[in-house]
Structure 1
Amino acid sequence: MPESDTQRTPRPLISLTWTDHVTGRQGHLVVDRLVRGVASGGLRMREGCTLDEVAGLARGMTMKEALHYDADEPTARYIPLGGAKGGIDCDPRAPEAYGVLVRYLRAMRPYIESFWTTGEDLGLTQDVVDRAAAEAGLVSTVQAVYPLLDDEAAARRRLADAFAVVVDGIGLDELVGGCGVAESVLAALDRVGTGRAGTRVCVQGFGTMGGATARFLSRAGLRIVAVADVKGTIANPDGLDVEALLAARDAFGTVDRAALRPGDAELPGEAWLSADAEVLVPAAVSYAIDGVNQARIRARWIVEAANMPVLPEAEALLADRGVTVLPDVVVNSGTNAWWWWTLFGDIGADADEAFAYTRRAMRGLIGLMLARAEADGTTPRAAAHAIVAERLPVMAERFGWYG
């Protein structure tokens, strides 16, 4: 007799490790769950990336997809997929990195063509992924979803047009995720009646997600008092010039220090942990906040723009100190959802429409999660898990695992 969805063990459907025959570097793919025969999740590249890390990220993608499923929204064209993730153990700045990426994609081609839709994640940009995918012989990194589209040609044109949209010097695809993170912050602050003006924010990581988050929060009236990149922490209690810092970034989110103003201080790398700010946004690597360094945090809110930045033992200790963690599975889900809203036709290739749709969706999810946490007497993460646990069986019954 087959196991029910609630009895099934949390092991992923597929978990594999690839070894590059040229460099010996390893890459991983984990498919946590399929819905309609397809799973969604990006590809990251970083030194030290492990199979366990990728498995955790794949589980997170399953949750993100489920959280954006609304069975009561009859007009939505996008129906969520399953969750997956890829990872390559290599420094993206290394000379051999691009060749490793191309060979990884060649090896994963059967999976990408059949059921894994992927895109940029930590260490990679979408243009690099697309270029490598073309060299690997792929039509697209999201081609597995094409059979689910009503009009494939129109959908592909719409997504290509959306990726061509630039807002104040930054591509729309690089902004929507940060828009979602920023709206998560604003929704949480609004819920407890905290004013935006004067609320201080520290952002760790100034790449795609961190940079866009800083822009949207700054434009909403919050004060960005510190940002951190691989060179260290830049701080100014009166507020940083976010636009100038964005303009001075390289492709990896590192800020040229020549752009700093006289009042901007250069501090050690981990100074971001103890920044004097109400909101802390970890937007870089996983496992950044552990059971030891959490004691340095002074913020009231931690908003996970990165995937898995707060370790469980750290989160428990932070909760004991009255620090609320808004979890990654909700906060940073906007980028993934935007891809599908656009491809399936819920929105067009328009920045204002994309931002409005993202803000509405994220504000709704944050409100639902925080209300559930309050009602259950749990953390926001536990509330998000509870919502997912209720939605997954409904999705499985309606759409099936394998289509």
Structure 2
Amino acid sequence: MTAPALLEITWTDPVTGRNGYVVIDTLVRGLASGGLRLREGCSLEEVRGLARGMTRKEAIVYDPADHYVPLGGGKGGIDIDPADPEATNVLRRFLAAVLPVVREQWNTGEDFGLRQETIEKVAAELGLPSTVEAVFATVPDAAASRAALAEAFATMVGGISLGDLVGGYGVAQACLAAAERLGKRPAEATAVVQGFGSIGGAAARYLAEAGVRVVAVADRAGLIRNDEGLDIEALLAARDGLGVIDRAALREVDTVGDRDEWLTVPCDLLVPAAMSYVIDEDDVPRINARVVIEGANMPTLPAAEAALRERGIPVVPDFLANVMTNAWWWWIVFQDIEPNAESSYAKIRAVMRRLVDTVTADANDSGRTLREAALDLAARNSEALAKRVGVTA
């Protein structure tokens, strides 16, 4: 049985009636980490599951050799479409209402439907220098950590901020590791990516850069497909702030279709990298992939994952595959890496490969799923962390 969360807040906007939520699942040294999402239909149950996932993400990357000491897990969500004209005002009122939690415990940032620059702008209006003030109080040299984080986010790689690339780079590394276990060299592998925001877009970029043929991507407007491989850099240059691609930039050889068709496109690597709950049990017979790598949080419902297992299609779980955005922030803040692309990518590549290798070996040895093996690794790390610093769970 899953333990209840430490703190759950349900807030109702006095102007629009929209609801917002904060869930603190666990605290380590009094701190929790996890982003804030804007999504029409977001619920307390969803945020509760996301916060639990953050506890696992923090734990799974624990390395006693790092200066970074993992935090607990927390998450926030507001039930509003990010494209709603009132979204920023609702965000401002929500953050004002939960400001004491942000100041003291909950270190947050961008998530689905919310850009980092937007939340930072609103936080500054409310008198917060950053959305991770609570963790800065725990580092030896807060000024140096602030400077490093600012430098890292100011670093541009191919016209995109490093902070918008590291999570997707980690997902791409998980995909490449999965392809190897299929006996596929990158140039022999194909991929389909659902979602073309910071995670999906970066994952597609680095898969293509490694030689993988990305044959389809799906955004809010539909599916874009080319079985010979899409021009990912051109698509990245043509997307807007919500990850929607301008169809005028497509080549004549590219085709378009309904956005739900991403499940049916034949591929080796299927990467849901946008919304939660997008693969249910009824979708499983339509899937033509050899492995699912969860770039989004909670994209595969439990019954669907069980059905995929029966079909022999493994699922690399979200709290492993998409952990690197969160870990990268803290490696920078705790100064385990330099605030540049070379140092960031080297650390991400090494840690992701180590995690995938460990989890895969454990799953193969025990006959468990990748999720079960990853949960066990996170639990072992949590026990080690608790012995070191204590955990409020």
* Common fold: TM-score over 0.5: yes
Q: Does 2:104 correspond to 1:114?
A: yes
- Which of 40, 45, 54 is equivalent to 2:38? 45
Letter of the structure 2 residue corresponding to residue 11 of structure 1 = P
Cα pair 1:106 1:137 within 8 Å, conserved: no
Deviations 1:216-268, CA, capped at 9 Å, x for gaps? 00000000000000111000011100000000000000000000001100111
Q: Shift of the alpha carbon at 1:53?
A: 0.3
- Equivalent-residue separation in structure 1 for 2:29 and 2:16 (angstroms): 36
Give me the whole-angstrom Cα distance separating, in 1, the residues matched to 2:2 and 2:17.
Answer: 33
For 1:368 and 1:58, locate their aligned partners in 2 and report how far apart those are by CA, in whole Å.
Answer: 24
Q: Distance in 2 between matches of 1:302 and 1:188?
A: 9
Aligned to 2:333: 343
Amino acid in the other structure paired with 1:246: L
C-alpha distance in structure 2 between counterparts of 1:21 and 1:113, whole Å: 23
Instruction: Identify the match of residue 254 of structure 1 among 244, 264, 276.
Output: 244
1:325 CA displacement: 0.5
1:29 alignment counterpart = 22
Question: Following the alignment from structure 2 to structure 1, what is the Cα–Cα distance between the partners of residues 237 and 55?
Answer: 35
Residue in structure 1 matching 2:286, options 290, 296, 299: 296
- Rounded Cα–Cα distance in structure 2 between residues aligned with 1:294 and 1:118: 34
1:225-374 residue pairs with structure 2 within 5 A?
Answer: 225-374=215-364
Q: How does 1:77-116 map to 2 (within 5 A)?
A: 77-116=67-106
SS of structure 2 residue aligned to 1:276: coil
Is 1:175 the counterpart of 2:165 in the alignment? yes
Report the residue type matching 2:19 in the other structure: Q
Report the equivalent of 2:52.
59
* Distance (whole Å) between structure 2 residues aligned to residue 142 and residue 359 of structure 1: 25
Report matched runs for 1:144-183 at 5 Å: 144-183=134-173
Which of 38, 54, 62 is residue 69 of structure 1 equivalent to? 62
Tell me how far apart the structure 2 counterparts of residues 168 and 401 of structure 1 sit (CA, whole Å): 40
Aligned residue among 188, 198, 219 for 1:198: 188
Secondary structure (helix, strand or coil) at the match of 1:197 reads helix
Residue 4 of structure 1: aligned partner: none
Corresponding residue for 2:208? 218
Q: Is the 8 A contact 2:26 2:392 kept in 1?
A: no
Cα 1:381–1:199 change in 2 (3 A) is same
Offset at 1:402? 5.8
User: Which residue is 1:390 aligned to?
Assistant: 380
**Distance in 2 between residues matched to 1:401 and 1:144, nearest whole Å:** 17
| 2:107 alignment partner AA | T
* Unpaired stretches in structure 2, ≥5 consecutive residues: none
CA distance in structure 2 between the aligned counterparts of 1:174 and 1:33, rounded to whole angstroms:
26
**Are the aligned partners of 1:25 and 1:89 in contact in 2 as well (CA < 8 Å)?**
yes
Whole-angstrom distance in 1 between the partners of 2:327 and 2:168: 13
AA matched with 1:19: T
| Contact 2:23/2:47 (<8 A) preserved | yes
Q: How many equivalent residue pairs?
A: 393
Deviations 1:36-82 (A, max 9, x none): 110000000000000000000000000010001123x2xx1111010
Q: CA deviation at 1:192?
A: 4.0
SS in 2 for 1:292: helix
**1:261 partner SS:** coil
Q: Name the structure 1 match of 2:174.
A: 184
Which whole-Å CA distance do the structure 1 matches of 2:225 and 2:283 have between them? 19
Which residue identity lines up with residue 135 of structure 1 in the other structure?
E
Aligned equivalent of 2:115: 125
Q: Distance in 2 between matches of 1:305 and 1:365?
A: 15
Distance across 1 between alignment mates of 2:170 and 2:82: 26
| 1:80-134 deviation digits (Å, cap 9, x = unpaired) | 0100000000001001000000111111110011010000000001000100111
TM-score, normalised to structure 2's length?
0.98
TM-score normalised to the size of structure 1?
0.96
Q: Counterpart of 1:33 in structure 2: which amino acid? A: T
Q: Report the alpha carbon displacement of residue 135 of structure 1 after superposing the two structures with TM.
A: 1.6
Question: 3-state DSSP class of the match of 1:378?
Answer: coil
